[in-house]
Amino acid sequence: MIDLRSDTVTVPTDGMRKAMARAEVGDDVYGEDPTVNRLQEMAAALLSKRFALFVPSGTMANQLAIRSHTQPGQEVIVESKSHIVRYEQGAAGALAGVQLHWVPGERGIMSAEQVEAAIRPTDPHSISTALICLENTHNAGGGTIYPLATIEKIRALAAKHNIPMHLDGARLMNAVAATTLPPASYAQHFETVSLCLSKGLGAPVGSLLISSDRQLIDRARRFRRMYGGAMRQAGILAAAGIYALEHHVARLTDDHSHAKKLARLLQQIPSVQIAPQHVETNIVIFDVTDQRRTPAEIVAALKEQGVLINPIGGLSYRAVTHLNVSAKQIDEAGAVFMRVLTP
């Protein structure tokens, strides 16, 4: 089966499993797991920041950031199709007591002008803007890389209004691999960054919340316990994250090449609408215009021939390349798409 549903379906490599098996462990709630501590130090250094906190998921990292930056009754600016809006179960409202101000971006990218227009006035009648969140790369936008120049403009606005910024960097290393820019070139513009280890990097579990603000990380650690994310002998999991950062970053460009090739193959199918030039990293979003079958029927037909993808609403579908999909399998998947989707 060629699984293109998400890069979250990756399984640990043999080398990663060996690293996990020999990991030195301790009690991380007491700060005594040496492997967790090493991962946190490594991740912080990677982004040229001072501190990091290991957590079970990217959603938890984002929500810890929101909770630690804000007070109930405040507002957070986010892109309308961001992960925080679509895929985190309304946690910002439920757990932090804040409301989200949705801004519709272009393929997930908010402009500085849009962000400026979304910042609330400082008067007695308006809710206060407490945080600006960006997502890089942008999942629902199709793996879009946030232009650094746009981030810099938004950062200047945030500084002018004294508003902190958080980066949902679940796939930040995809942006790094694609642009060859150092991670810190993005991270320097944000007070906090979440970095996921279990997507394209191939670890089974885990994300990090990274910051240079010691007090904020200490608050996040308390909220992690409140949210049920504190772990004990977590070094077994942290060892996978260390292995991923040491061995799986450079190879992300293979996933990007595979995604671009898949986009070109899909473009050859008459019933498919796709803009291959918009495939910047490892996510391919396309429409199937033939409406004689429902999305569920199309997904079932592809599965029957050995390819898994996800419908994402309307006529649209998403395919995601990752370390468990080879170049040969991309060719095979292309042939399956051609057979199933050709009217």
What distance in Å separates the CA atoms of residue 340 and residue 319, rounded to the nearest whole number? 15
Query: How would DSSP label each residue in 175-209?
Result: HHHHH---HHHHHTT-SEEEEESSSTT--SS-EEE
- Three-state DSSP at 333 gives helix
Residue 343 has what pLDDT? 83
β-pairing, 192-196 vs 165-169, is parallel
Tally of domains in the chain = 2
Q: Is the pTM of this model over 0.85?
A: yes
Same-domain pairing of 190 and 310: no
Structural tokens at position 23: 């990991």
Q: Is the pLDDT of residue 116 over 90?
A: yes
Query: How would DSSP label each residue in 192-260?
Result: EEEEESSSTT--SS-EEEEES-HHHHHHHHHHHHHTT---SSTHHHHHHHHHHHHHSSTTHHHHHHHHH
Same-domain pairing of 157 and 274: no
Same-domain pairing of 117 and 220: yes
Domain-located, residue 1: no
Same-domain pairing of 202 and 83: yes
Same-domain pairing of 201 and 67: yes
Residue 73 has what pLDDT? 97
Same-domain pairing of 210 and 94: yes
Q: How far, CA to CA in Å, does 154 sit from each of 68, 98, 144, 164, 195? A: 21, 21, 17, 11, 20
Instruction: Quickly count: other Cβ atoms within 10 Å of residue 172's Cβ.
Output: 25
Mean pLDDT of 215-224: 98
Mean pLDDT of the chain: 97
The CATH number for 261's domain is: 3.90.1150.10
Residue 101 has what pLDDT? 98
Q: Which residue segment(s) compose the domain that 265 sits in?
A: 251-341
What distance in Å separates the CA atoms of residue 300 and residue 162, rounded to the nearest whole number? 50
Mean pLDDT of 124-151: 97
